[in-house]
Amino acid sequence: MESGVEPVTSSTSAGNGSATGATSDGAISTIPPTHDTKAELHLRLLAVGIPVVVCKPHRHRDGCKPECQQELSPPSGWSRITAKQARAGIAAYRPGTDTLAMVGGHGIDVLDIDAKAGGDLAMVPEALQHWGRTRTPSGGWHVPVPSTGYGKGDLFIEGVYQGDYVGGTALGGARLLCFLPGSTRPKYPGGGYVEERPWDVPALVTTEPPALLLDLCRASNLSMTSGPAKPAASARQVFDFVARHTPADPYDQAAARCGYGHTALTRMIDEVCQVVAGDQHRGRHVWAVRSVMRVTELIAAGCLTSQALALIERNFAAVKPGSDHEMSELQKYAVANVTPKTRCEVHGG
């Protein structure tokens, strides 16, 4: 798809022109794209590049505690698996024995409403239910929503516990699995997952998370880092952070203070082209979350200056006009929650 959007760069090294729209783990290929809602859900997910893994019935081993209650064993490394690896692994699926699970945070997150724990579908705003709904064998529901960049955690609606938020941070942490139709759960013999309202996978991955959903995540105190969430900083605190990391020389416009910072920043700006070239709408919010969090980490570490934050802001505005509020909320969150983090030789000590 032609985007016509030029990246905003501070240097000539981040060229635009080679973006192909391929995802980071290679082009979406082996399974033909299917928007046919009659195809099985796990195939529709894999077709758009969302990892689905095969969980085997858990067998107790020496390492298990006597009170081990584990029911299923997901493949090792499931939280870091790419869609390409997942497509290769799906061949091992044995219907009737194994359990299929989608990895959260790759474009689709799930509100896992746990009826056993008091969760109630009626509490979920109707506006968040139109992308689909699965009935679970324990009498609960899975409600798919566009990925927000928030990690897994307890989901509260109007202060009442509803179940799990199945998400994943934009930097790849705090993921959770969501079981899919076609799955067998040893705990619930005879019961299955039923796609009551078919998941609109193409819409889910091309829709930005609505403000209502982001508010719900914030109210549940979900985190965009792997640690617990701290309340967002004030506008004043963001201003002070920016001032503290702005070069003293007014003519110094450098965004990076070292090669490590420069490379990291260039890569993030390059990604904008891919986000946009791949699809007009897919992944802009999560790109912004990832970039703001990472840039803030690197500014705090000394690898980047505040100019880098301004660059991310300008690029986001270019691909998502009218996103100023979203960006300032992200910055407030990042300034409060991020700690210095770098592998740079100069600033890493």
Q: Please identify, among the stretches 115-123, 198-206, 208-216, 257-265, the one whose residues bind Zn ion according to the rule CB under 5 A.
A: 257-265
Cβ distance to Zn ion smaller for residue 214 or 298: 298
Tokens 């500014």 appear where?
299
Cβ distance to Zn ion smaller for residue 210 or 302: 302
Give the shortest CB-137-to-Zn ion separation in angstroms.
21
> What b-and-e string marks burial along 306-326, b requiring 16 or more CB atoms within 10 Å of the CB?
bbbbbbbbebbebbbeebeeb
CA-based Rg of the chain, rounded to a whole angstrom? 21
Cβ distance to Zn ion smaller for residue 233 or 303: 303
Distance from C-alpha of 193 to C-alpha of 180, rounded to nearest angstrom: 6
Q: Please identify, among the stretches 168-176, 179-187, 282-290, 338-346, the one whose residues bind Zn ion according to the rule CB under 5 A.
A: 338-346
Task: Compose the 216-255 pattern: x for residues touching Zn ion by CB under 5 A, - for all others.
Answer: ----------------------------------------
Distance from C-alpha of 339 to C-alpha of 193, rounded to nearest angstrom: 41
For helices 235-244 and 306-319, what crossing angle results, to 10°?
120
Give the shortest CB-206-to-Zn ion separation in angstroms.
36
Distance from C-alpha of 344 to C-alpha of 293, rounded to nearest angstrom: 17
Do residues 197 and 146 touch, judged by C-beta distance below 8 A? no
Who contacts 268 (Cβ-Cβ below 8 Å, separation ≥6)?
290, 291, 294, 295, 312
Residue 129 DSSP class: T
Cβ distance to Zn ion smaller for residue 21 or 247: 247
Given 35, 60, 94, 267, the residue binding Zn ion (CB under 5 A): 60
Which helix (H) or strand (E) element contains residue 166?
Answer: strand 160-166
Give the shortest CB-257-to-Zn ion separation in angstroms.
6
Give the shortest CB-313-to-Zn ion separation in angstroms.
21
Give the CA distances from residue 71 to residues 94, 180, 184, in Å, rounded to whole numbers and listed in that order: 16, 16, 11
Cβ distance to Zn ion smaller for residue 180 or 344: 344
* β-sheet bridge partners, residue 177: 103
Q: Report the phi/psi class of residue 68: left, alpha or beta, with left for phi > 0 and alpha for psi in -120 to 50.
A: beta
Residues in region 69-108 near Zn ion by CB under 5 A? 70
Given 14, 103, 258, 272, the residue binding Zn ion (CB under 5 A): 258
Give the shortest CB-66-to-Zn ion separation in angstroms.
9
Cβ distance to Zn ion smaller for residue 233 or 258: 258
Q: According to the binding rule CB under 5 A, does residue 346 interact with Zn ion?
A: yes
Classified as helix, coil or strand, 184 is coil
Q: According to the binding rule CB under 5 A, does residue 344 interact with Zn ion?
A: yes
Give the shortest CB-58-to-Zn ion separation in angstroms.
6
Q: Please identify, among the stretches 16-24, 58-66, 74-82, 324-332, the one whose residues bind Zn ion according to the rule CB under 5 A.
A: 58-66
| Cβ neighbour number for residue 109 with a 10 Å cutoff | 31
Give the shortest CB-69-to-Zn ion separation in angstroms.
8
Residue 189 DSSP class: T
Cβ distance to Zn ion smaller for residue 217 or 309: 309
Task: Compose the 280-319 pattern: x for residues touching Zn ion by CB under 5 A, - for all others.
Answer: -----------------------x----------------
Helices and strands per DSSP (H, E), number in the chain: 9, 10
Given 93, 193, 241, 260, the residue binding Zn ion (CB under 5 A): 260
* β-sheet bridge partners, residue 154: 164
Q: Which residues are at the interface with Zn ion (CB under 5 A)?
A: 60, 64, 68, 70, 258, 260, 303, 344, 346-347
